[in-house]
Amino acid sequence: MKLFYQIAAVVFLSGCTRMDLTPVNYVKWMEDESNGLRQSKMIDQLEFQVQLKTNEYVLLKEENIIPAGRKDEFEKEKKELGEMRYFTFKIKTPDGTDPLKFRLADKEEYYARVKYYSFDVQNDFQLVEGKDTLSCSLAHFERNFGIAPEITCLLGFPPARSEAMQQENKSFVYYDRVFNSGRLIFSFSKENINHIPKLKS
């Protein structure tokens, strides 16, 4: 997983007073849907979920690196993640079964789904900021071989083209070609992004 973010850094949120949270509470805050940075949509018995991620969240949640006693390492790793914007996209079934097998016609369709999420799904994600529409730069499909009841894609988008654009509302767009849910839009307000807490060191 770490390799994904190292590659992303090579290829390529400010304002009001914010809370200072411990690592555990920071992760909980980011994942609390009431704060607007994790969003879900239920469509035809499938849950589509998007998590907007800061560099701090990536290190705490996915790389298990915490600042305490490792502040220099933490800052170095955060810098290496660069200025890309990161998201996690998931598809889940209500009964906890593998979504890759949801309403499956045959084995050929199963392997076609695996191929799509492994190689082609990147082309169906966009990030809209104001008048800018950015294509997904990197996508990594986490193969879990049916152990976890979800499809998970780690995504990276290019840095904002300007500081002004960085402050704009953002729309995460996915065109679902597998389950025929069409164009899905998840909106992230600049107010929610600008109120992301600080991480206690």
Residue 122 lies in a domain: yes
Residue 138 lies in a domain: yes
Residue 148 lies in a domain: yes
Residue 100 lies in a domain: no
Task: Please tell me the predicted confidence (pLDDT) of residue 57.
Answer: 96
Task: Please tell me the predicted confidence (pLDDT) of residue 38.
Answer: 98
How many domains are contained in the chain?
A: 1
Q: Which token pair is 164?
A: 């002004």
Residue 55 lies in a domain: yes
CA 114 from centre of chain: 19
pLDDT by residue, tens only, the chain of 201 residues: 666 776 666 554 344 456 899 999 999 999 999 999 999 999 999 999 999 999 999 999 988 888 887 788 889 999 999 899 999 999 999 888 899 999 999 999 999 999 999 999 999 999 999 888 999 999 999 987 767 789 999 999 999 877 767 778 999 999 999 999 999 999 999 999 989 999 987
The helix/strand/coil state of 155 is strand
Report phi then psi at 20, rounded to 5.
-105, 120
Task: Please tell me the predicted confidence (pLDDT) of residue 16.
Answer: 47
Residue 101 lies in a domain: no
- Residues 42 and 91 sit within 8 Å (Cβ to Cβ): no
Residue 46 lies in a domain: yes
Dihedral over Cα of 54, 60, 64, 69: its sign: positive
Burial class (CB in 10 A: 0-12, 13-18, 19+), 17: exposed
Residue 69: domain span: 2-93+106-199
Task: Please tell me the predicted confidence (pLDDT) of residue 139.
Answer: 97
